[in-house]
Amino acid sequence: MASESGGVPRPVVGQGVNVVVLGAAEATILGGRVLLDRGRGLVVETSRAPGTGWARGARVILIYAGAESVFTLSGVVGEALTPNRFYVIPSSGPREMEKREYIRAELSILSAVDRHGAALGGLAPARVELSASGFRWYGASDATAGERVTLRFEVPGESGRTIGLPADVVRVERRGGTAEVAGRFVEIGPEDRDTVLRLVFQQRYAELGLLEES
């Protein structure tokens, strides 16, 4: 990553980003990647177009990860190139987000905690507290502290896409027939990491104050 704004990096070509579209009545956060760095601005491609498409002057925030931190870069769409590509001109320098701004969000999703080596079962609705570094999952499980598991879940709004995130179990608390399984992710890939961040930000959109910028 190239550094600017006092050493805070901006995203590099090929890097995955989450694009927050400001001004929408509801949360609009799209997955994407940087295609080109023109120096002044960046060409970004998203997984789909927002609403009726990109429009010049629309305001966006790019959210991206690097090392152990998460960064944001606010900007204005300078040019709509295709239905899902646009040129964004930064309106301020990138900044590192504080941990409290993105640490976790609770979701109800189709999911399962699979023990290492066990046959995969079906996914069922469960409550999951998700963060960039780990999870807390609530349901029936035989997992024990110290073992390797995989948190498997269907990504909401992505046509049945399912991902599996390897994790080490750090704590299990049982209450009757259910358990609270807490795990720390290991070997999480860039695409899956961006998906987790997108889900967390989607859930916490209003809490993060992004609506106030619209």
Residue-level pLDDT, tens digit, the chain, 214 residues: 444 445 778 999 999 898 988 876 555 788 899 999 999 999 999 988 888 789 999 999 998 987 667 888 999 999 999 999 999 999 989 988 876 666 788 889 999 999 987 778 889 999 999 988 899 999 988 899 999 999 999 998 777 889 999 999 999 999 888 899 999 999 888 888 888 888 888 777 656 655 444 4
How many other CB atoms sit within 10 Å of the CB of residue 14? 10
Instruction: Specify whether the CB–CB gap between 62 and 19 falls below 8 A.
Output: yes
Please tell me the pTM assigned to this model: 0.67
pLDDT digits (tens, 9 = 90+) for 77-110: 999 999 999 999 999 899 888 766 667 888 899 9
Query: Minimal CA–CA distance to 104: which of 133, 68, 137, 67?
Result: 133
